[in-house]
Amino acid sequence: MPFKCSVPACRGNYDEENKVSVFGYPIDEDLRKKWLLAIPRKNFTITKNSKICERHFKDDEVIYRTTLYIEKTGETISAQLKTPRLKENAVPSIFPDCPSSKSSIKKNPSKKKQRLKNASIELSVIESLNSKQSPSSKSSIKKKLSKKKQRLKNVPIKISSIESLNSKQNYDSKTTFTNFNELKKCIKDHSFSSFWTVIEKNEHMLFIHLSVNNGIPSITYAVSIDSDLFLNASFMEQRILKCKQFPLPITVDNINQVFDILDYFEKDSSDGLSSFVNIKKEYY
pLDDT in tens, 3-49: 888 888 888 888 888 889 999 998 888 999 999 989 888 788 888 88
The string of DSSP letters for the chain reads: -PPPB-STT--TTTSGGG---EEEPPSSHHHHHHHHHHS--TT----TT-EEEGGGS-GGGEEEEEEEEETTTTEEEEEEEEEEEEPTT------TTPPP------S-HHHHHHHHHHHHHHHHHHHHHHTTS-HHHHHHHHHHHHHHHHHHHHHHHHHHHHHHHHHHHHHHHHHB-SSHHHHHHHHHTS---TT-EEEEETTEEEEEEEEEETTEEEEEEEEEEETT-EEEEEETTEE--EETTEESSEE--BHHHHHHHHHHHHHT---SHHHHHHHHHHH-
Per-residue model confidence as pLDDT tens digits over 235-264: 888 888 877 666 888 888 888 888 888 888
CA separation (Å) from 3 to 6, 15, 58, 188, 230? Answer: 9, 11, 20, 34, 19
pLDDT tier for residue 282 given thresholds of 50, 70 and 90: very low
Q: Give the pLDDT band of residue 102 (cuts 50, 70, 90).
A: very low
Phi, psi for residue 154 in degrees, rounded to 5: -85, -30
Higher pLDDT, 5 or 162: 5
Distance between CA 143 and CA 148 in Å, rounded?
A: 9
Cβ atoms of 93 and 38 within 8 Å: the answer is yes
